[in-house]
Structure 1
Amino acid sequence: MLLKRRKARWFVGPSLHGLPALSALPALAAACLLVSCSPRPPEPKDYTARLAADRAAKDAAFQSGSDPVPAARHAELLPLAYFPIDPGYDVPAVLKPTDDRTVFQMPTSSGAPRDMRRVGSLEFTLKGLPLKLTTFVEVATPTHLFVAFSDLTSGNETYPAGRYVDIDRNSTGIYEIDFNRAYNPYCYYNPTYECPYPPPENRLKIPVRAGERMKRSEVGSLK
């Protein structure tokens, strides 16, 4: 008998947008191309429309049931709150693999650790700053990269424990991190969910004002 649900992930479409030509190149050549050239930003109109449609679909799905957002909290939490869409937060990244593939027990909101495996660090540039995030896969579902992070908005504009980005895994080592798709852990809506906490090295020293945020009423309650 399950006493606590595990964290559910939300996929409303492909996690990756663009970079079709890079996926056909060897990983090393693609990495060099990303480092030496400025990436072409997504077409603003199409990108914004696609992302807005995905957000509307997520709201509709949450409104139609009581999971993960309990029915009693629909009026309080729905529709979900987001920062304005900014294509500048959709950035290319290169995965630098790690030699340490041992199973890592990631702390969670329930106190029971989750078995994860480190796959490496995603290195990228955001708003002119070089950054990196340690990336994991769940031992049970290794087909998606799991990126848990916090930043300078955590605890005042976004969920205190951090946010997540999910990325489809590939064989090239070339990825796209779209922080406009960063989402709150489901335990933000419902404490029966078990949510992994970001590792200390994934605490970004910049504000990431993209993706899902807290409702303004909840921001006030934290002060």
Structure 2
Amino acid sequence: MNKNNVFWAIVALVITASLLYTFTGTEDPEFYQNTIEAERERQFKFLKYNLDSPLTEEQKDLLDSLDFYPIDPAYKVRARMEPVANKSLMEVPMTDGSVERYIRHSFAVFDLKGEPVKLLLLQAEDEMDRRNFFLAFADETSADETYGGGRYLNLRQDGQSSITIDFNLAYNPYCAYNPDFACPIPPRENILEIPIRAGEKNYDK
């Protein structure tokens, strides 16, 4: 399996987990906690044992856990989707100097802990399901508590003009574990001036 296929395989797995989680919601705090913990355990097992893991065999042997922020329901938000005027393809730079093409689809607009936030939602050029979106972001924790190249979320529109975003599910790109992989760099619209202390922390090599 080539690197591009490996990347999209993990994206599909994350979307599936996100869908289950989105529809169950956060009404039951214990269930919510268990759902996030189960996804984190699935992520660990994939990296530790899967043949398509970006980790080398030596890294797999040494990996005994992943580092996450404590689960905080305040980082789960309902965002309003504002369509981008004149949707167009954009070339997103990759960490290896290449580019990938995405559709500039819409902005997710919401408040997070009292701060207004507006993030650009991208859609893969070849995405068949037009309710699926990709969010790459960086924040004030990047290159310190979290990976310097930003983190990702795979999202699914769950309302006519709204989408649920839970930063507790934010995960590291493959290049955070192995520089041989190329990963999309967050667009300038998604460089936040606030800390997002939720989701996965920096990988301890």
> 1:76-115: per-residue Cα shift (whole Å, max 9, x none)?
4442111010011011001100122211000011211101
Q: Report the TM-score, using the length of structure 2 for normalisation.
A: 0.86
1:73 alignment partner in structure 2: 59
* Aligned-partner Cα distance in 1 for 2:57–2:156: 31
Instruction: Note the C-alpha offset of 1:171.
Output: 6.1
Instruction: Note the C-alpha offset of 1:14.
Output: 3.2
Q: Which has the larger radius of gyration?
A: 1
Task: Tell whether 2:129 aligns with 1:124.
Answer: no
Which of 17, 25, 29 is the matching residue for 2:22? 17
Which of 109, 123, 138 is the matching residue for 2:95? 109
* Aligned-partner Cα distance in 2 for 1:125–1:195: 28
* Cα contact 2:153–2:167 (8 A) shared by 1: yes
2:200 alignment partner in structure 1: 212
Which of 104, 111, 122 is the matching residue for 1:136? 122
> 1:182-205: per-residue Cα shift (whole Å, max 9, x none)?
011111112232210011121111
Do the aligned partners of residues 75 and 207 (structure 1) sit closer, same or farther apart at CA in structure 2, a change above 3 Å counting?
Answer: farther
Can you give the 5+ residue segments of structure 2 that lack an aligned partner in the other structure? none
Aligned-residue Cα RMSD (Å) equals: 2.2
* Cα contact 2:104–2:121 (8 A) shared by 1: yes
Q: Report the TM-score, using the length of structure 1 for normalisation.
A: 0.80
SS in 2 for 1:17: helix
1:38 alignment partner in structure 2: none
How many residue pairs get matched? 196
* Matching residue's letter, 2:49: S
Which of 141, 145, 155 is the matching residue for 1:167? 155
Which of 56, 70, 76 is the matching residue for 2:41? 56
Task: Tell whether 2:185 aligns with 1:181.
Answer: no
Task: Tell whether 2:142 aligns with 1:154.
Answer: yes
Which of 85, 101, 107 is the matching residue for 1:99? 85
Can you give the 5+ residue segments of structure 1 that lack an aligned partner in the other structure? 21-40, 219-223
SS in 1 for 2:17: coil
Sequence identity percentage: 33
Do the aligned partners of residues 131 and 189 (structure 1) sit closer, same or farther apart at CA in structure 2, a change above 3 Å counting?
Answer: same
* Matching residue's letter, 1:17: T
